[in-house]
Amino acid sequence: MNDQPYPWGIDCLWLASDRDGRLGAFLTGGAGPIPMDVLAASSFPVTKTGAMLCRQPKIAAARLLVSLKRPDDFIDLAERGFHVYDWSDMGRTSRGVTGAYEPIAMPETPISIDDLPDELAAVARLLRMDAVCFGDGIPLDMETLLVCTDGE
């Protein structure tokens, strides 16, 4: 059972690390699946992760992977060293991808968990995806990789 309810309709962000220790920032669009392990961490609300990431220093150049009208927020996170993914549903897709987290921006210099302040590092340690490399820049279907909920 979840300690935190699914934040339905709130475009929040959750973190994970990949097999190489890189960090991914996943924006839900208010409906994308969130791993149960993330929601079970009642000591840190998933709705506060994005604000904490935005307080981190910019340390890298960013590369936008898709064409967007307003890419500023995605680039902003990538400049902080995070691989940035956005939920792609049936209504929006740029690569023919539906129902997956689509890579939007990548940092030129990725950071690792050890580069984060303790509170954020603890959040990032909740979820390590050993079968995934964020540097590959491919869409990720979280529901095939992890036990998730989408709030429905």
Does residue 81 contact residue 40 with C-beta atoms inside 8 Å? Answer: no
- Does the pLDDT value for residue 90 go beyond 90? no
The residues, ordered by sequence, that sit 6+ positions from 50 with a Cβ below 8 Å of its Cβ are 12, 13, 25, 27
pLDDT at residue number 41: 75
Residue 35, in any domain of the structure: yes
Strand ranges (E), 65-142: 83-88, 100-107, 128-129
Task: Name the strand (E) or helix (H) holding 123.
Answer: helix 118-124
CA distances from 101 to 34, 92, 144 (A): 11, 11, 12
Residue 78 lies in a domain: yes
pTM: 0.89
| Mean pLDDT value of segment 89-101 | 59
Position 152 in a domain:
no
pLDDT in tens, 105-145: 999 999 999 999 998 888 888 889 999 999 999 999 988 88
Residue 4 within a domain:
no
Residue 50 falls inside a structural domain? yes
Residue 135: what residue type? G
The answer to whether residue 150 sits within a structural domain is no
pLDDT at position 16: 94
DSSP 115: G
Domain range for 105 is: 13-144
How high is the pLDDT of residue 43? 67
1 within some domain: no
Evaluate whether residue 54 is within a structural domain. Answer: yes
Q: Which of 124, 121, 108 is nearest to 15 (CA)?
A: 124
15-55 tens-digit pLDDT: 999 999 999 999 998 889 999 888 887 667 888 888 989 99
Contact 151, 10 (CB under 8 A): no
| Number of separate domains in the chain | 1
Angstrom distance (rounded) from CA 98 to CA 52: 29
